């Protein structure tokens, strides 16, 4: 396996042999995947390689009102619009073309983000080790350069993803609790984890990957092109596994801090992380049981009862 990977990516160049060095505005050196695997460099654009995250970082830090205002508008809309639509006779809005375009855009965005962040995550595991990737300060690990850009894009995208629910409500459907709770808490956690310079690349790598598959499926479902062989439960399983990893990471934050070790995560965000991923795990498991176990079982029971009646 290792030999095949080496044949594919070429010789691994250790950090001490890099011919070019990258530094953040604060003077911290950071490494990028293509430095160790030069065969990948042509696939990175110059602006990505030299991306300076400082301006957008301070924009996120200085504008903490954005997620709060977005969430207030979001909740007012999803709980207020149905009553207004009923009162004023606003018709059902299909928005099928817009939904398809939106999900295709998010799918493409997520695939691109995953292709940048996931390789960097595994590169860091090899270069820095598990505990450093989990607990190390973000700036020297993934603060600038190509992965720095895609991490900032991820943070900002959580505001845009609120539109997912807008389409649901416009179609006069009630979003389930898991749907809107997930959008609200992810936005807050992502924004403030990043602005407080807490480690989080493991969450971003997972989320980009799961969303790449999920939004691709949603797009195909809207245009009615989902392959017959595709198991839809696979997406829910991937989401559950993502939450399991989230709980595991929160536990490791606690383990390192309680043993007196060094970890860049703040105590407040540690407990927010533990609570958020624990509730996600419960809610996604409950959803999976209702949809893929109890749902089919009740349908079969109803079918059997109808046969007996006839």
Q: Each residue of 44-98: pLDDT tens digit?
A: 999 999 999 999 999 999 999 999 999 999 999 999 999 998 888 888 888 899 9
Q: Which of 28-37, 57-66, 208-217 has the lowest mean pLDDT?
A: 28-37
CA distances for 15 relative to 30, 42, 128, 146, angstroms: 10, 19, 11, 17
What pLDDT, on a 0 to 100 scale, did the predictor assign at position 7? 55
Instruction: Report whether pLDDT(263) > 50.
Output: yes
pLDDT, the chain, mean: 91
Q: Active-site residues: which are they? A: 182
What pLDDT, on a 0 to 100 scale, did the predictor assign at position 15? 83
Confidence of residue 294 (pLDDT cuts 50, 70, 90): confident
What are the contacts of 175-184 at 24+ separation with CB within 8 A? 175/78, 176/287, 177/283, 178/283, 178/284, 178/287, 180/74, 180/75, 180/78, 181/279, 181/283, 182/280, 182/283, 183/74, 183/158, 184/71, 184/74, 184/75
What tokens were used for 168? 């649901």
Global pTM reads: 0.92
Instruction: Report whether pLDDT(1) > 50.
Output: no
Region 201-225 average pLDDT: 97
What pLDDT, on a 0 to 100 scale, did the predictor assign at position 2? 44
The residue ranking higher by pLDDT, 172 or 296, is: 172
Instruction: Report whether pLDDT(180) > 80.
Output: yes
């Amino acid at each position: 396996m290792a030999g095949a990977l080496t044949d594919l990516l070429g010789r691994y160049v250790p950090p001490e042999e890099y011919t070019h060095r990258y530094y953040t505005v604060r003077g911290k050196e950071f490494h990028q995947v293509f430095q160790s695997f030069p065969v990948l460099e042509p696939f990175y654009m110059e602006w990505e390689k030299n991306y300076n995250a400082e301006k957008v970082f301070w924009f996120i830090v200085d504008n903490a009102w954005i997620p709060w205002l977005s969430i207030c508008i979001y909740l007012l809309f999803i709980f207020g619009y149905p009553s207004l639509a009923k009162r004023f006779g606003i018709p059902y809005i299909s928005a099928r073309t817009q939904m398809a375009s939106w999900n295709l855009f998010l799918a493409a965005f997520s695939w691109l983000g995953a292709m940048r962040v996931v390789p960097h995550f595994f590169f860091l595991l090899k270069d820095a080790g598990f505990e450093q990737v989990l607990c190390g300060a973000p700036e020297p690990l993934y603060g600038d350069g190509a992965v720095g850009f895609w991490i900032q894009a991820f943070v900002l995208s959580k505001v845009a993803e609120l539109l997912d629910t807008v389409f649901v409500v416009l179609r006069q459907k009630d979003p389930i609790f898991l749907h809107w709770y997930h959008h609200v808490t992810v936005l807050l956690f992502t924004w403030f984890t990043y602005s407080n310079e807490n480690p989080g690349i493991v969450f971003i790598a997972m989320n980009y990957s799961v969303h790449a598959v999920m939004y691709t499926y949603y797009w195909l479902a809207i245009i009615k092109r989902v392959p017959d062989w595709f198991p839809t439960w696979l997406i829910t399983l991937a989401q559950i596994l993502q939450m399991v990893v989230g709980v595991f990471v929160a536990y490791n934050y606690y383990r390192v801090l309680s043993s007196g070790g060094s970890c860049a995560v703040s105590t407040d965000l540690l407990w927010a992380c533990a609570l958020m991923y624990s509730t996600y795990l419960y809610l996604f498991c409950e959803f999976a049981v209702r949809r893929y176990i109890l749902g089919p079982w009740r349908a079969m029971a109803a079918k059997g009862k109808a046969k007996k009646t006839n």
